[in-house]
A and B are shown apart, each in its own frame.
Chain A
Amino acid sequence: MADTTHIAKDERIGTESFVSRLMKRPELGAIAGAILVTLFFLFTADGAMFTLSGVMNFMTPAAQLGILAIGAALLMIGGEFDLSIGSMIAFAGLIFAACVVTLGLPLIIAIPATFALAALAGTLNGAIVLKTGLPSFIVTLAFLFILRGISLVGLKLATDGSTQLRGVRDAVEGDFLRPLFSGDAFPGLFAWGAQVGIVETFANGSPKVPGIPVEILWFIALTLAATWVLLRTPYGNWIFASGGDRAAASNSGVPVRRVKISLFVLTACCATLVAIITVLDAGSTDARRGFMKEFEAIIAAVIGGCLLTGGYGSAIGAFFGSIIFGMVVIGLSYTDFDQDWFQVFLGGMLLIAVLFNNYIRKRVTGER
């Protein structure tokens, strides 16, 4: 590099400050939002909200949504939408419950079978979007209704006319895979915590929090895995590229079709995981399972910094977006506010997030 010394630095490009570097992180908005919401509840809510059991209380719905939101975020970064994930939960719940209750299959067969069917549905979604070139919004909107309808009809067939399929809990009693998808992890640790006085106890000496609900562990594991994939693997680079500019990515040798279809499969599988966890938890499944979850997941992803146009966003952002969601839904019951304010709050957050994201995108690309 002999000829490098004479290259003068362009005097019009100032050095970037730490703050403006920070501003370019996609998850910044969600983290700031989470801090604000925490502060809000610290001042308005009952102190019980931020005890260990209170935290588990709002982290559980946050985790159930978050598993979906991570999948939705990756798909959005890849430039597509999936509006069918809510219905997918009902569909996967039906398949799973039917496998376990009607067919009496053990979890080691029922769970892979459910995931396989979900993957097939995801592939179908993706294949139609890519083959026809239609917006994924429309194609998956169709599947929102198709899957919901199949779930209703299927439930009636499986139960002779009821829209609820019960008996899951009895059917999986004692199955060795159950603790992976249901209940609380590390009960021994929490029992020990109760004994030494770290964990609060009931009058009879048993811990108030028996363990960490498994969905929270799934949620954290999925966030870490998704972040690693996005930022540290070639596949992550392909996701950003496919969402940023499909033609440019494919001209540069990125297998855009494969990337997008795999992302549709991922969102379907995330929905399936939520279905399995919640069906095991409730012991039954019904046709309304996962209702409206597609919108909540997309909202969490957008609050997490994902652009609606694709090519930008982060899994960590979706993680915090989901926590904000859980805090608001559960936290309002600790305050004097009417709980139904949460929808207003959510809509407001979405609007602010979109405006903020647009501003950030302009900063990143240097648009004026």
Chain B
Amino acid sequence: MTTAPIIGMTDVPPIIEMSDIEKHFGNIIALAGVSFDVRAGECHCLLGDNGAGKSTFIKTMSGVHKPTKGTIRVNGAPVTFGSPRDAMEAGIATVFQDLAMIPLMSVTRNFFMGREPTKGRGPFRRMDIKAANATCVAAMRSMGINLRGPDQAVGTLSGGERQTVAIARAVHFGAKVLILDEPTSALGVRQTSNVLATIDRVRKQGVGVVFITHNVRHAMAVGDRFTVLNRGRTLGTAARGDITAEALQDMMAGGQDMALLEGSLGGTV
């Protein structure tokens, strides 16, 4: 495993760089020194088993938690996020597992929820429904989803489509770094590949994607770099091609135990 920067990417500075992040909750150490960075146009996978500290880490990155120790730099300058809004303003958008979608509302209304485009002034200031609908349909189309209509309720979309709406929304509102919290964990095969294709599209638009997952195959499918989190620590970062799926799997599980288990299961895990 190597921590050397990827050739050809050395001159690209990371958009966000987290160094030696520690987070303590009382006497529980959730993160014990995590380093992670994301560059524009790459997909950096953060792998880890349940309880490894993935959630705490992304909540730190998205401004929900303040780190106990360590520094966060955005475009090279050190920052502290007081709230998720601060992080959002710095261009760091998070798509949590609950997606922040309201099933009874239309796709457009969800898309612009809290950030509605308006026209008119004073008491006649109103939502620009036409523009909102057009923008929403176009944004969804660019992600490969043809809506039946912008007034279609989100509740009628499949899980993968909802994920895509959430991603499209974040990208539309200027995300430079997009954190995806286990976007594929509840999806079927077909829908997973749709979401992975969406990640690829977003990456090509120059957005840095943080893909959190515990599924090595999903990570290998789109990842440019891989970082494994285990028991609140990072075990280093590897570039695509420098590491095998088996090695990643081993690191996630903590090595030997898994090797033993895998042996007994005939290498199927």
Contact = CB atoms under 8 A, between A and B. Distances in A.
Interface of A: 1, 3-4, 7, 9-10, 13, 16, 24, 228, 232-234, 236-238, 240-241, 244-245, 247-249, 251-254, 307, 311-312, 361, 364-367
B125 A233 contact: yes
Contact of B141 (A1, A311, A364): A1
B152 to A, nearest CB: 9
Contacts of B100: 245, 247-249, 251-252
Given A7-B144, A248-B98, A312 B104 contact: yes
B115 A364 contact: no
Q: Is the interface of B mostly helix, strand, loop or mixed?
A: loop
A181 B133 CA distance: 41
Closest 8 CB pairs of A and B: A365-B155, A253-B114, A244-B102, A366-B156, A234-B116, A252-B114, A248-B100, A254-B114
A108 B84 CA distance: 46
A236 B105 contact: no
Contact of A365 (B103, B127, B144): B103
B138 interface: yes
Interface string B103-134: 11100010011111010000001110100000
A254 B126 contact: no
B205 interface: no
A259 to B, nearest CB: 11
A170 to B, nearest CB: 37
B146 interface: yes
Contact of A237 (B85, B103, B112, B138): B112
A307 B146 CA distance: 29
A249 B113 contact: yes
A331 to B, nearest CB: 34
Contacts of A366: 153, 155-156
A14 to B, nearest CB: 10
Given A241-B109, A249-B102, A364-B156, 12 more contacts: A1-B141, A3-B142, A4-B141, A7-B144, A237-B113, A245-B101, A248-B99, A249-B114, A254-B114, A312-B104, A365-B156, A367-B155
